[in-house]
């Protein structure tokens, strides 16, 4: 395979990591409205080139609100729809928000937000219900997205009608997707199905409006594509043949990772595993459709848990931890060759953290896929040889201070480093590291490195502590809730980053 550069990462640049849900908003959760455009303005003013987000798929309070555990690999999250944009379109009025619940500003109260958004979004639907079928834009959207939208909308309606029952507990004809039963159900619940389609129509219209705004600022959006899907999802219900399920349609084994930095008992994700041979026989069509969909949504795509394309950790279903799993090979070469035949130069980044074996490294090199380097992992006992130490960086990588799964730099320094690690960090910096400035020190290490691309979590730019952590792997609840405050997103707060961006030759050419 010819060496290539994915997605224009050959130019030096930098950007910030901030999920849409963490943006300021009066409606309890960040959304795709004015605050998202203001953040894009702030990035542009700080001469940044990238905005990295977390997955934008639907989340569920029952699943801990994780964007990596969605009921659809294709749908957008209705909680991220902007009420302000709906008002600007005339689909809602200010009186529809009255009284506005008293949402917390520092965290997302997902239950309260879900109730509020559901109410106002249905109100917006009621206003256009009678004319929606004659709307050519809506009709075109439903046709373009038919490969997933019809099944997803029906799945959502059935779950609501059956009090949240998982799809394998649907009535037998619906569980097995009998065409006659599906047709009768669509007729019976047509209005509710159209409502779900309407939500997706509005979400993607707002998303592409934001993407176009970012494009006008020469900002590129980096999306995040989870490798696995949730068992109780429209994807598994619609395509059970591409997953490892038993005769009762239940997973035989489930996904996870072995014991590592994040957890002594490993991480038990619980997702169904792919039947890679079935996928290969179908020319990986489902994955091709999924990546094509995401390459329209984002300018670059980070493939989560990339090593899972070479081998995955399979845990017996029902095990309480991931300790007793096993590695099982996956056809990475055949998969990527097929992928590259459809997308000759796909702008993808590999999330290659954790246990990375030589075969994974070889695959990445052969296909020219850049990986990640995370600084908070670099200063342990093996510092001189550690691949995440800046003196081992290469141009073809993406450098991070930390990720959504790590503590903030300041929280890491205060809570997770021991005296020896602090000594090594200080020796590496050439001056004593302290809690007040360590976030800037690690940002500087990343920004002046040879790595062409640097991504910094917003929490690290702002020097926030452990309270601003986004996710603690291995825990089910209390994650994904952090939000940045409006008065924290200022030009003054971004000034040190802007200065380093200019000094180290990473400025946005726009």
Crossing angle of helices 34-45 and 190-216, rounded to 10°: 20
Q: 3-class secondary structure for 311-379?
A: EEEEEECCCCCCCCCEEEECCHHHHHHHHHHHCCCCCEEECCCCCCCHHHHHHHHHHCCCEEEEHHHCC
Q: According to the model, what pLDDT value does residue 4 have?
A: 55
Q: According to the model, what pLDDT value does residue 2 have?
A: 46
Residue 328 inside a domain? The answer is: no
Annotated active-site residue 405? The verdict is: yes
Annotated active-site residue 351? The verdict is: yes
Q: According to the model, what pLDDT value does residue 153 have?
A: 98
Cis peptide before 243 (omega within 30 of 0): no
Residue 37 CA to residue 46 CA, distance in Å, equals 14
Residue 92 CA to residue 89 CA, distance in Å, equals 8
Per-residue pLDDT, averaged over 89-116, amounts to 95
Q: Taking the mean position of all CA atoms in its chain, how far away is CA 10?
A: 23
Q: According to the model, what pLDDT value does residue 162 have?
A: 96
Annotated active-site residue 248? The verdict is: no
Helix (H, G, I), strand (E, B) or coil at 457: strand
Q: 3-class secondary structure for 492-506?
A: HHHHHHHHHHHHCCC
Q: Which of 351, 352, 396, 421 is catalytic?
A: 351
Residue 386 inside a domain? The answer is: yes
- Residue 6: CB partners within 8 Å, gap ≥ 6? 300, 345, 346, 347, 348, 349, 368, 369, 370
Domain count, the chain: 1
Q: Which of 84, 260, 304, 423 is catalytic?
A: 304
Give the domain CATH number at 157: 3.20.20.80
Residue 93 inside a domain? The answer is: yes
pLDDT in tens, 440-484: 999 999 999 999 999 999 999 999 999 999 999 878 889 999 999
In the numeric block, which tokens belong to residue 116? 């509020």
Q: Give yes or no for residue 8 having a pLDDT over 90.
A: no
Residue 237 inside a domain? The answer is: no
Q: Determine which of 3-17, 83-97, 144-158 has the lowest per-residue pLDDT on average.
A: 3-17
Per-residue pLDDT, averaged over 66-89, amounts to 97
Residue 263 inside a domain? The answer is: no
- Residue 194: CB partners within 8 Å, gap ≥ 6? 129, 132, 133, 153
In the numeric block, which tokens belong to residue 431? 């001056």
pLDDT in tens, 332-354: 999 999 999 999 889 999 999 87
Residue 147 inside a domain? The answer is: yes
pLDDT in tens, 248-280: 999 999 999 888 766 788 889 999 999 999 999
The torsion defined by the Cα of 336, 283, 238 and 132, in degrees rounded to 10, comes to 80
Residue 152 CA to residue 197 CA, distance in Å, equals 9
pLDDT confidence bin for 121, thresholds 50/70/90:
very high
pLDDT in tens, 124-138: 999 999 999 899 999
Domain hosting 452: range is: 13-230+284-306+346-503
Q: According to the model, what pLDDT value does residue 1 have?
A: 45
pLDDT in tens, 31-53: 999 999 999 999 999 999 999 99
Q: According to the model, what pLDDT value does residue 474 have?
A: 78
Average pLDDT of the residues of the chain:
95
**Cβ(239)–Cβ(286) below 8 Å:** yes
Residue count (the chain): 510
Residue 295 inside a domain? The answer is: yes
Q: Which of 140, 291, 112 is nearest to 204 (CA)?
A: 140
Residue 414 inside a domain? The answer is: yes
Per-residue pLDDT, averaged over 424-453, amounts to 97
Question: Model pTM?
Answer: 0.96
DSSP secondary-structure letter at 79? Answer: G
Q: Which of 224, 405, 441, 460 is catalytic?
A: 405
| DSSP labels, 466-497 | GGG----TT--SS-S-B---GGGS-HHHHHHH
pLDDT in tens, 383-405: 999 999 999 999 999 999 999 99
Per-residue pLDDT, averaged over 56-73, amounts to 95
| DSSP labels, 93-135 | -GGGGPSPP---SSB--HHHHHHHHHHHHHHHHHHHHHHHTT-
Task: Name the pairing type of β-strands 300-303 and 220-225.
Answer: parallel
Instruction: Find tokens 């509020």 and name the residue.
Output: 116
In the numeric block, which tokens belong to residue 228? 């696995």
Q: Give yes or no for residue 7 having a pLDDT over 70.
A: no
In the numeric block, which tokens belong to residue 449? 């490195």
């Amino acid at each position: 395979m010819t060496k290539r550069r994915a997605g224009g990462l050959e130019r030096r640049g930098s950007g910030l990591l901030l999920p849409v849900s963490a943006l300021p908003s009066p409606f309890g959760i960040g959304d795709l409205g004015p605050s998202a455009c203001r953040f894009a303005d702030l990035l542009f003013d700080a001469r940044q080139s990238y905005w990295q987000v977390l997955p934008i798929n639907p989340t569920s309070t029952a699943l801990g609100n994780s964007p990596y555990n969605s009921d659809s690999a294709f749908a957008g999250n209705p909680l991220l729809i902007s009420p302000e944009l709906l008002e600007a379109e005339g689909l809602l009025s200010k009186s529809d928000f009255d009284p506005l619940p008293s949402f917390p500003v520092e965290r997302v109260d997902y239950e309260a937000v879900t109730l509020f958004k559901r109410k106002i979004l249905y109100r917006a639907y009621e206003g256009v219900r009678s004319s929606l079928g004659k709307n050519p834009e809506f009709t075109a959207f439903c046709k373009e997205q038919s490969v997933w939208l019809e099944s997803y909308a029906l799945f959502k309606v059935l779950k609501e009608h059956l009090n949240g029952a998982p799809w394998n507990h649907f009535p037998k004809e619906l569980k097995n997707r009998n065409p006659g039963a599906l047709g009768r159900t669509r007729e019976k619940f047509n209005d509710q199905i159209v409502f779900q389609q309407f939500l997706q129509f509005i979400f993607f219209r707002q998303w592409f409006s934001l993407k176009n705004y970012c494009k006008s600022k020469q900002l590129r959006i980096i999306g995040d594509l989870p490798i696995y899907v949730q068992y109780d999802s429209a994807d598994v219900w619609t395509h059970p043949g591409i997953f490892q399920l038993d005769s009762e349609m239940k997973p035989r084994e489930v996904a996870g990772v072995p014991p590592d930095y994040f957890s002594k008992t490993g991480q038990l994700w619980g997702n169904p595993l792919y039947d890679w041979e079935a996928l290969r026989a179908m020319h990986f069509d489902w994955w091709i459709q999924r990546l094509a969909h995401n390459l329209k949504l984002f300018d670059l795509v980070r493939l989560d848990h990339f090593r899972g394309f070479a081998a995955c950790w399979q845990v017996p279903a029902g095990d309480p931890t991931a300790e007793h799993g096993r590695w099982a090979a996956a056809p990475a070469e055949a998969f990527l060759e097929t992928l590259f035949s459809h997308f000759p130069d796909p702008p993808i980044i590999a999330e290659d953290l954790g246990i990375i074996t030589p075969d994974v490294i070889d695959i990445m090199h052969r296909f020219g896929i850049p990986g990640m380097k995370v600084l908070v992992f670099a200063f342990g006992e093996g510092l001189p040889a550690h691949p995440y130490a800046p003196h081992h960086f290469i141009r073809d990588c993406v450098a991070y201070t930390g990720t959504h799964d790590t503590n903030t730099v300041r929280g890491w320094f205060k809570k997770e480093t021991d005296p020896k690690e602090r000594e090594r960090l200080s020796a590496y910096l050439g001056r004593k590291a302290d809690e007040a400035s360590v976030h800037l020190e690690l940002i500087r290490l990343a920004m002046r490195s040879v790595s062409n691309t640097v991504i910094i979590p917003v929490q690290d730019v702002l020097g926030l502590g452990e309270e601003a952590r986004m996710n603690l792997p291995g825990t089910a609840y209390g994650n994904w809730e952090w939000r940045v405050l409006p008065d924290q997103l200022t030009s003054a707060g971004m000034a040190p980053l802007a200065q380093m961006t200019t000094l180290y030759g990473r400025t946005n050419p726009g």
